[in-house]
Amino acid sequence: MKKNLIPITILILVCTLSYMYNLVSLLLLAIIALSLATLLIASIVKAFRGSLSPSWLKVPLIILAVCVLGVVTGLFRPLEPAVVSSGDVSEKLAYAYKTDQADRMTVSAYLGMRNNSMAKRDSIRLEQVNQLYKDNQIGEPMDKFYAAFIFHHSKTASLFEIAQKLASEAASVKELKNNYVVQWLAKATYDRWMVSLGKPQKYGTQDKFSVSVE
């Protein structure tokens, strides 16, 4: 009984953390990949040597099982609403930006679980922010940055152009000159806009292996 108590305790802890925090599920996915790689190496070693200690297979399999159950548990974590209707413009935009970033660290959003697909939630955010833009309500530098990020995750060249306009205006403000994410977004929106027009990018932010904030 004591032998099984530790794995069970770890399983409960992992599942609880996965349900509570988005990043835990992503971490578990990385561990799953590492465990699978270990099992593959163990299989190759066994094929060449003909024998292998059972612990080489047992430990990765246990870790794999715990992580898979943790990820599955995390899929049932409810997502916050994509947008809010209350509050002023700055609050709405800040909230939309927060959920935009949170979704991109949530496994269930990528899988489209419970009608929470990334595309659907992006569309809801874009609809709200686009209306605020059409109503000329986006004036503060940080508001422009938040709105630009939402437009940046749209699908059309015309909206990428708006994203670039807002991002560059935010990046040109003195107090945001040293803000890395704001400055990066100004470059990324320009590159994404150019690529959508079939033109070469300038800053290389859209390269497949570029390190950036998405």
CA dist., res. 10 & res. 8, Å (int): 5
pTM score of the predicted model? 0.76
Statement: residue 212 has pLDDT above 50: no
Among 165, 157, 162, which residue's Cα sits nearest to residue 195? 157
Place of tokens 């027009």: 197
- Average per-residue pLDDT in the chain? 85
Q: For residue 129, how far is the Cα from the chain centroid?
A: 20
Q: What is the mean pLDDT of residues 70-84?
A: 85
Structure confidence at residue 65 (pLDDT):
87
CB 148 within 8 A of CB 213: no
Statement: residue 123 has pLDDT above 90: yes
Percent share of the chain, pLDDT over 70? 85
Structure confidence at residue 213 (pLDDT):
42
CB 75 within 8 A of CB 111: yes
